[in-house]
């Protein structure tokens, strides 16, 4: 399995913000989102046992498998290996492909609004939906997906002026649509990894 990086930090987004977690970033993605801030092409080949052993080096019981797009390579056997080491496994996915059945938490971050048909979501449920909001696209496009938690996250465009406008638009949207909650990229605000 090709792994971009494995590191220990705090979850910076969504429902588990502030929770210590081991992040396993898998290489590769099936989408090319215009705002992507992740270097996901590089990586090192690692066996599932090597990945699980590395994750076990840190004390957090929480593992976040992300990418790129983790559904391209995540297997039920890797999830089992992480469970065997006492870890709960969360996955952050664009939802365009099925996930292993034994994942503990699914964060669906759909991108169809930005990349068109290539980003069509095939998942019909998730533990949380986290939509990157640019102030222009309608997040309720995903209202048919079952999820107890819905987060709207201001898009980081790299332009401080545009970002301030998007944050204000996101706050206004959440206030007008109270089924949504605001999610900030706190790891960026705090300058932590």
**Neighbouring C-beta atoms of residue 21, cutoff 10 Å:** 22
pLDDT for res 165: 96
Pairing of strands 44-45, 2-10: antiparallel
CA 188 to CA 193: how far, in whole Å? Answer: 8
Which residue matches tokens 């819905």?
150
Closest CA relative to residue 95, chosen from 63, 114, 120: 120
Q: Is 41 exposed, middle or buried (0-12, 13-18, 19+ CB in 10 A)?
A: exposed
The pLDDT of residue 184 is above 80 = yes
Which residue matches tokens 């399995």?
1
Closest CA relative to residue 51, chosen from 27, 28, 30: 27
Positions marked catalytic: 23, 29, 33, 36-38, 92, 187
Which stretch of 19-28, 83-92, 94-103, 109-118 has the lowest confidence by average pLDDT? 109-118
Using CA atoms of 142, 88, 22, 112 in order, give the dihedral in degrees to the nearest 10. -10
More confident: 96 or 28: 96
- Are 60 and 85 in contact by the 8 Å Cβ rule? The answer is no
11 φ/ψ sector (left φ>0, alpha ψ -120 to 50, else beta): beta
- Are 133 and 139 in contact by the 8 Å Cβ rule? The answer is yes
CA 117 to CA 96: how far, in whole Å? Answer: 10
The pLDDT of residue 8 is above 80 = yes
pLDDT > 70: percent of the chain: 91
pTM summary value: 0.90
Please give the backbone phi and psi of residue 170, each rounded to the nearest 5 degrees, phi first: -65, -45
pLDDT tens profile 105-163 = 999 998 887 777 878 899 999 999 999 998 888 887 888 899 999 999 998 888 999 99
Closest CA relative to residue 43, chosen from 22, 66, 27, 64: 27
pLDDT for res 38: 66
At 189, is the pLDDT very low, low, confident or very high (cuts 50, 70, 90)?
Answer: low
Which residues are bridge partners to 153 per DSSP? 132
Query: Which domains are assigned to the chain?
Result: 2-189 (3.20.20.70)
Can you read off the two tokens belonging to residue 123?
A: 């998942």
DSSP label of 29: -
pLDDT for res 104: 98
């Amino acid at each position: 399995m090709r792994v971009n990086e494995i590191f220990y930090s705090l979850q910076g987004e969504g429902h588990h913000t502030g929770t210590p977690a081991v992040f396993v970033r898998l290489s590769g993605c099936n989408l090319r989102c215009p705002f992507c801030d992740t270097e996901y092409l590089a990586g090192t080949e690692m066996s599932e046992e090597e990945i699980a052993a590395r994750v076990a080096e840190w004390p957090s019981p929480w593992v976040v498998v992300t990418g790129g797009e983790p559904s391209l390579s995540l297997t039920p056997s890797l999830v089992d290996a992480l469970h065997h080491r006492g870890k709960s496994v969360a996955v952050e996915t664009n939802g365009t492909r099925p996930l292993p059945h034994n994942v503990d938490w699914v964060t669906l971050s759909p991108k169809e609004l930005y990349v068109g048909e290539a980003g069509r979501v095939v998942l019909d449920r998730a533990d949380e939906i986290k939509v990157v909001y640019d102030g222009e696209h309608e997040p309720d496009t995903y209202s048919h997906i079952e999820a107890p938690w819905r987060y709207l996250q201001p898009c980081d465009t790299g332009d401080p002026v545009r970002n301030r406008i998007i944050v204000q638009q996101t706050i206004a949207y959440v206030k007008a649509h109270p089924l949504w909650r605001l999610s900030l990229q706190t790891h960026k605000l705090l300058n932590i990894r």
